[in-house]
Amino acid sequence: MIEARNLVKRFRDRKRGMVTAVDRIGFSCRPGEIYGLLGANGAGKTTTMRMLATILEPTEGTAIVAGYDVAKEPGKVRSSVGFLSTATALYARLTAKEMVEYFGRLHGLDEFTLHRRIDAIFERLEMNDFRDRRCDKLSTGMKQKVSIARTLVHNPTVMIFDEPTVGLDVMAARTIAGFIRECRDQGKTVIFSTHVMSEVEKLCDRIGIIHGGRLMAEGTLAELRDRFHLHDLEDIFVQVVEP
């Protein structure tokens, strides 16, 4: 479960002065549901996702993620969350297995559980061919799989995906999309940010449109279509951000 309560993030920018990147955002996402945060570049998606993953601290407001308060128990939140974005790179000089092992250990798994889980994940994602290959020698698709394995090693109940398909080719993007669906089917709480309309249409159960740091509209795709009397999500998006 994710419950964002009036999340605010302000930071000081040398050129622009005080900037409010996220302005009183509130929404909730239930287990077994994919919540899509749709917004243009600079809308505040990444900042919101980072606050949910406790990489950034909210200036005001808070969020309850997997039952823990992001402001009060960030460590426990991170233990329950799998976070994946295009910015979360791999350690080039570690092998695929070492990379996943490292994160499993940091999540406090004992060696027996860790290796059982790694074996299961590597089997499931068909990673055994390159498990001992260094990450810098892997193809983009293989790297994606390692990243997925890294987010899954501690069996998190909440998955946060921040524009996970940016810069990926069709095949790699499909792997990610399939993985996101699978997480939902397993009953995990999934939040997913993107600026690609088609991804949202295909994947998300509920959609939040974010613009200028504020949540402008929220609902299922059907609800949004009804409310704005438009069919195409892109048209709806434009209507919302430029009324």
Q: Is 161 or 237 the residue whose CB approaches another protein more closely?
A: 161
Choose, by CB under 8 A, the member of 19, 30, 42, 93 that binds another protein: 93
Under rule CB under 8 A, residue 103 binds another protein: yes
171 binds another protein (CB under 8 A): no
Q: What is the 3-state secondary structure (H, E, C) of 35-91?
A: EEEECCCCCCHHHHHHHHCCCCCCCEEEEEECCEECCCCHHHHHHHEEEEECCCCCC
CA nearest neighbour of 237 among 209, 218, 195, 213: 209
Residues 6+ apart with CB under 8 A from 124: none
The Cα–Cα gap between 241 and 186 comes to 34
169 interacts with another protein by CB under 8 A: no
For the bound state, the minimum distance from the C-beta of residue 242 to another protein, rounded and expressed in Å, comes to 27
Q: Is 106 in the site for another protein (CB under 8 A)?
A: yes
HEC secondary structure over 101-158: HHHHHHCCCCHHHHHHHHHHHHHHCCCHHHCCCEHHHCCHHHHHHHHHHHHHCCCCCE
Question: The tokens of 239 are what?
Answer: 């209507």
CA distance 71 to 61: 9
- Give φ, ψ of 100 to 5 degrees: -70, -40
> Is residue 206 at the binding interface for another protein, with CB under 8 A as the rule?
no
Q: Is 105 in the site for another protein (CB under 8 A)?
A: yes
- Number of shown-chain residues binding another protein (CB under 8 A): 31
Work out which of 90, 118, 142, 159 binds another protein, going by CB under 8 A. Answer: 90
Q: In angstroms, what is the minimal distance from the CB of 28 to another protein?
A: 21
Does residue 12 belong to the site contacting another protein (CB under 8 A)?
yes
Stretch that binds another protein, among 16-24, 91-99, 114-122, 186-194 (CB under 8 A): 91-99
Regarding 107 and contact with another protein (CB under 8 A), the answer is yes
Binding mask 50-89 for another protein (x = CB under 8 A): ---xxxxx-----------------xx-xx-x-x-x-xxx
Residue placing its CB nearer to another protein in the complex, 28 or 79: 79
Compute the least distance from the CB of residue 64 to another protein, in Å: 17
Residue pair 207/192 in contact (Cβ under 8 Å)? The answer is: no
Binding residues for another protein (CB under 8 A): 11-12, 53-57, 75-76, 78-79, 81, 83, 85, 87-94, 98, 102-103, 105-108, 134, 150
